[in-house]
Amino acid sequence: MTNAATSAAAPVSDKDRVLIFDTTLRDGEQCPGATMTLEEKLQVADLLDEMGVDIIEAGFPIASAGDFEAVSLIAERVKNATVAGLARAIQADIARAGEAVRRAKRPRIHTFVSTSPIHLAHQMRKSEEEVLDIIVATVTQARNLVDDVEWSAMDATRTPIDYLCRCVEAAIKAGATTINLPDTVGYAIPDEYRAMFRTIRERVPNADKAIFSVHCHNDLGLAVANSLAGVEGGARQIECTVNGIGERAGNAALEEVVMAIKTRGDAVPFFTGVETTMLTRASKLVSAVTSFPVQYNKAIVGRNAFAHESGIHQDGMLKNAQTYEIMTPESVGVTKTSLVMGKHSGRHAFRKKLEELGYNLGDNVLEDAFRRFKDLADRKKDVYDEDIEALVDDQIHTIHD
């Protein structure tokens, strides 16, 4: 394993491109407390489009008049991305989704039905054969409205593989162009998820007629790992949300899957079309419009993702940033690494900070200032530039008095 920041192998062809399907406005908005206004949804959609996301799932048009309006307006204004509307396996849902995405340059209907025994028995109250008939009827209806139809097997990861193969085959025969196999309850582990895609793609005779998609929830904290495993198993679309917002523990985080693919191109030899320097902006926007704070230590976009406090790390960073950073902050839209001054900081970082603040102290004065800084850092949790300035100014005055 080498330093991927400098050695990522460039993927070679379009078959290595992974489509990014953003569902912040649908699965993301579905989680408690994340409701967005129409204006906010339009802002998010514009940014996702500009960022190079391939598919924007704009909402669930049958859910409410507001959702229908948001999906319709997003469909009209989005310039590049495909715009998808979600529909249950119900005629009225599909008709409504078709109507909402009608004006998009690239419209998609995304229809889903449960396939696992527990959902069939308790939620659907239908037999396997009845669900197969529903798949054929609903995918056919959607294909009569748009050319681009995604079909999802809800709770795919708890569905017996033989039955799942039959469902996928039926959906493709009826005209589905994307097959999504979600880990709806975040139950899978990466090996299983990878194997599921491999098996389905080997066993379903018409599998090569559709693009396979991953959709992972984060109940066990495995959503990103599972998404990457699914891609290794042959999927070429990842469904994800900005900041990983979504039902319960959320969905796979867009910024994490995109940067994992970009940074570890040696191990995950794929690419996406996302402009990664916009990831921080997207994270801030989604956090602001949903009022969901981003945890400090969140990968890629957390406030500490490029911050260093320990003396050893700060010293390494000042010598060569690759000692403790596997990607540059600029690559995700952060202007620079921050060396946070605290009780763990060392002399090297302290001297650098003083230089930044315009002080050029001799060795003895610096040594004394460093000692006083350490005393202060022991008493005060956050040491700001102003604290350091006050400390040094005070010391300089004492020397001159």
- Binding-site positions for Mn(2+) read 27, 215, 217, 251
Our finding on whether 237 is near ligand KIV (CB under 6 A) is no
Q: Compare residues 290 and 345 and give the one whose CB is closer to Zn ion.
A: 290
Stretch that binds Zn ion, among 22-30, 80-88, 97-105, 294-302 (CB under 5 A): 22-30
* Cα distance from N-terminal residue to C-terminal residue, the chain: 58
Q: How far is the CB of 23 from Zn ion (least distance, A)?
A: 7
Minimum distance between the CB of residue 355 and ligand KIV, rounded to whole angstroms?
A: 52
- Identify what 353 binds: ligand KIV, Zn ion, none; CB under 5 to 8 Å per kind: none
Q: Which stretch binds ligand KIV (CB under 6 A): 119-127, 129-137, 176-184, 352-360?
A: 176-184
Q: Pick the closer one to Zn ion by CB: 27 or 67.
A: 27
* Token duo for residue 236: 């070429």
**Binding of residue 241 to ligand KIV (CB under 6 A):** no
If binding is defined by CB under 6 A, does position 215 make contact with ligand KIV? yes
Q: Which of residues 59-78 bind Zn ion (CB under 5 A)?
A: none
Residue with smaller CB distance to Zn ion, 32 or 362: 32
Reading the block at residue 173, the tokens are: 């025969």
Nearest residue to 286 via CA among 16, 21, 33: 33
Binds 112, which of ligand KIV, Zn ion, none (CB < 5 to 8 A, cut-off by type)? Answer: ligand KIV
Q: Which is nearer to ligand KIV, 86 or 300 (CB)?
A: 86
Region near ligand KIV per CB under 6 A, out of 2-10, 178-186, 289-297, 310-318: 178-186
Taking residues 80 to 119 in sequence order and writing x for each that binds ligand KIV by CB under 6 A, - otherwise, the string is: --------------------------------x-------
70-98 b/e (C-beta count within 10 Å ≥ 16 → b):
bbbbbbeebeebbbbbbbbbeeebbbbbb
Question: Considering the complex, what minimum distance in angstroms separates the CB of residue 368 from ligand KIV?
Answer: 60
Q: Could you tell which of ligand KIV, Zn ion, none binds residue 152, using a CB distance below 5 to 8 A set by kind?
A: ligand KIV
Q: Does 27 sit near Zn ion (CB under 5 A)?
A: yes
Q: In this complex, which beta carbon is closest to ligand KIV, that of residue 223 or of residue 334?
A: 223
Minimum CB separation of residue 217 from Zn ion in Å reads: 6
In the 3-class helix/strand/coil scheme, how is the chain assigned residue by residue? CCCHHHHCCCCCCHHHECEEEECHHHHHCCCCCCCCCHHHHHHHHHHHHHHCCCEEEEECCCCCHHHHHHHHHHHHHCCCCEEEEEEECCHHHHHHHHHHHCCCCCEEEEEEEECCHHHHHHHHCCCHHHHHHHHHHHHHHHHHHCCEEEEEEECHHHCCHHHHHHHHHHHHHHCCCEEEEEECCCCCCHHHHHHHHHHHHHHCCCHHHCEEEEEEECCCCCHHHHHHHHHHCCCCEEEEEHHHCCCCCCECEHHHHHHHHHHCCCCCCCECCCCHHHHHHHHHHHHHHHCCCCCCCCCCCCCCCCEECCHHHHHHHHHCHHHCCCCCHHHHCCCCCEECCCCCCCHHHHHHHHHHCCCCCCHHHHHHHHHHHHHHHHHCCCCCHHHHHHHHHHHHHHHHC
CA dihedral 285, 184, 234, 12 (to 10 degrees): 10
Task: Tell the smallest beta-carbon distance from residue 84 to Zn ion (Å).
Answer: 13
Least separation in angstroms between CB 146 and ligand KIV: 17
Task: State the number of binding residues for ligand KIV (CB under 6 A).
Answer: 9
Residue 152 contacts ligand KIV per CB under 6 A = yes
Window of 3-11, 24-32, 107-115, 194-202 that interacts with Zn ion by CB under 5 A: 24-32
Interacting residue with ligand KIV among 4, 25, 27, 242 (CB under 6 A): 27
To the nearest whole angstrom, how small is the minimum distance from the Cβ of residue 64 to ligand KIV?
17
φ, ψ at 148 (rounded to 5°): -110, 105
Nearest distance from residue 22's CB to ligand KIV, in Å?
13
DSSP assigned state of 247: S
Would you say 27 or 325 has its CB closer to Zn ion?
27
Instruction: Tell me which residues touch ligand KIV (CB under 6 A).
Output: 27, 112, 152, 154, 180, 182, 184, 215, 217
Instruction: Tell me which residues touch Zn ion (CB under 5 A).
Output: 27
